[in-house]
């Protein structure tokens, strides 16, 4: 009985390891962009730069990470850019004000993104 569980564990671990190798080949040698919706030196910027120093080591393939500040309209410019201009290839992360998603529901002008189509990282 115990041997059966051991064999099942080995088989399942093989299935779980396959996606990691695929991600590693995708991210190897690439640059991950972290777009911050506020100016340099503020809380969002400091938080993003602290993450950027370490996140590359925790992603298979160890991509390099670049922080890009894109200020304007309480980070609406950055959110619009990430939604409209950035390629949806998994190499761009936006760090924007969460209140923008409520503003979209309220119909504020200038919002060009659809919050439901964003993937959220926690």
Residues 39-59: pLDDT tens digits? 999 999 999 999 999 999 998
**If pLDDT is split at 50, 70 and 90, which confidence band does 87 have?**
confident
Residues 19-32: pLDDT tens digits? 556 677 888 999 99
Is the pTM higher than 0.85? The answer reads no
Locate the domains of the chain by residue range: 2-117
Could you please report the per-residue DSSP string of 50-80? Answer: HHHHHGGGGSTT--EEEEEE--SGGGHHHHH
The angle subtended at Cα 39 by Cα 33 and Cα 45, nearest 5°, is: 55
Q: Of 104, 105, 102, 95, nearest to 70 (Cα)?
A: 95
Q: Of 84, 89, 78, 99, nearest to 35 (Cα)?
A: 78
């Amino acid at each position: 009985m115990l041997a059966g569980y051991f064999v099942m564990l080995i088989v399942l671990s093989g299935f779980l390891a396959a996606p990691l190798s695929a991600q590693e080949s995708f991210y190897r040698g690439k640059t991950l962009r972290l777009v911050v919706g506020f100016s340099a030196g503020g809380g969002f910027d400091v938080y993003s730069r602290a993450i950027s120093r370490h996140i590359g080591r925790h992603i298979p393939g160890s991509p390099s990470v670049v922080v890009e500040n894109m200020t304007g309209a309480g980070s609406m410019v950055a959110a619009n850019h990430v939604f409209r201009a950035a390629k949806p290839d998994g190499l761009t992360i936006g760090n924007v004000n969460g209140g923008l998603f409520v503003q979209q529901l309220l119909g504020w002008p200038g919002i060009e993104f659809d919050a439901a189509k964003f993937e959220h990282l926690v």
